[in-house]
Chain A
Amino acid sequence: MDRPGPPGPQPDPEEHERIDELLAGYALRSLTGEDAAEADRVLSHHVPDCARCRQTLLALSDTVADLALAVDPIEPPETLLPRLHRELEPRGGRPSVGRWAGVAVGTAVVLIAGGMAVSQGLRAGDLKAQNDLFAQALRYAQRPNADNARLVGAGATEPAPVSEVAAPDVDHFFLIGSDVPAAPVGQAYGIWLSNGVETLFAGFFVPGPEVTVVKVPFDRSRFDRVLITLEVPGTVPTRPGEAVWEAAA
């Protein structure tokens, strides 16, 4: 990290020293407040064009990752791998469209007047899965600590056609859309989770006719915000696109 890379836009040496220190804190995930915001700015506006800083960041990240090896390894409980096996969805043939796309696609459930009906266009196997999913959401909503909140338009207060049903310390929550308009042509709705430290893409929200239920396999209480954004379908976005709806903690 002390060997400069190829030339690029070069701030003065003092500025680079400050950036080095910022990147070290970033690699350790130990920045907060203004430093974290400044790191975001540097990572967005300077690092991509600065070979020296890209090299520094990679070196710092590698070094930080190796720190894990300083701790004695511990064999995890024997139940962990079987638990994971149960949750590994087959991936053969699945289009590589994102982390939870396989969860989101095909989860549309059609409701009529509080009861459940089915879309005539869906296969029977799909319908069973969708009905099961909706039943899960209903049971989940009955938890004593479950909370139901409607998302709002990003940057405004108008209610969104999507609500969330979440409970703390549960490894998943639900997004439920009602008459969600199709995304603009050439775009798809993406689901993002953010906690001020991490922003991660959780998959696509694919609206079906009338009511759509999507199970998001993350503990909602770990995140401050849920965003629904516009993304390019068929890709894995690295940064949130234009926000359409959002929910805060």
Chain B
Amino acid sequence: MVASGAKDMREGDREDLLLHRRLSAGDRGAFDELYRRYAPTAYGIAYRLTGQQLLAQDVVHDAFLALWRAPEAFDATRGAFRSFFLSLVHHRAVDTIRREERIRARQDRAANLEPVVGEDPSERVVDEDFLTRRRSEVRDALADLSAEQRQVLEMAYFAGKTQVRIAEELGIPLGTVKTRTFAALRKLRRALETED
């Protein structure tokens, strides 16, 4: 089962690479296909961070437009397209919330992994198989972290908080935040590599 998932994953990454090449040549069909694959994930994470539909739309819009206008920003030798694009979306979402202090209050809701109230998106989105499997692997790996490790990761990634702010909010030394963060990512990596 794991081997099959890993195979699907690699196949999915290869398809992404081919789509990216076509997009680089100006193929709008490839753009649409990549949009179909990644827009729901991108919108999900953008909405999780910003807590506002319009801001989330802007984040996703900007990310896809940047992809179209500068496809050369993706370097296939530095990882999968999925990693590149989802990082791009996350960075833009983080930048957005840091500039939108007025939505700070909404981030408390974002700092957990429960679905946003009023949204039941999972039934309306049909993922690629390889993404569905990867989602399950990532969630399992997150669940295996210690509560302290998961907490700093969620505050940093899903709420876009800086390490300094995390230390302040948790009342722990900044050095502890750094150590926990790296330990959490290292453990996640090991778990996901095993799945690969």
Contacts and interface: CB of A to CB of B under 8 A. Distances in A.
A147 B104 CA distance: 27
B80 A62 contact: yes
Given A2-B186, A81-B35, A88 B28 contact: yes
Contact of A70 (B58, B66, B84, B138): B138
Contacts of B131: 69
A222 B181 contact: no
Interface in A207-246: 217-218, 221-222, 236
Given A68-B41, A73-B122, A75-B125, A30 B86 contact: no
A156 interface: no
Interface stretch (A41-49, A91-99, A133-141, A177-185): A91-99
Given A27-B185, A62-B83, A63-B189, A35 B157 contact: no
A72 B35 CA distance: 16
B82 interface: yes
A102 to B, nearest CB: 8
A73 B121 contact: yes
Contacts of B70: 98-99, 201, 236
A123 B171 CA distance: 65
A185 B40 CA distance: 46
B69 interface: yes
Interface of B: 25-26, 28, 31-32, 35, 39-45, 47-48, 53, 56-58, 60-62, 64-66, 68-70, 72-73, 78-80, 82-84, 86-87, 89-91, 94-96, 98-99, 113, 115, 119, 121-122, 124-125, 127, 131, 134-135, 138-139, 142, 153, 156-158, 160-164, 166, 178-179, 181-182, 185-186, 188-190, 192
Interface of A: 1-2, 20-22, 24-25, 27-33, 35, 58-77, 80-81, 83-85, 87-92, 94, 96, 98-100, 102, 171, 195, 197-198, 201, 217-218, 221-222, 236
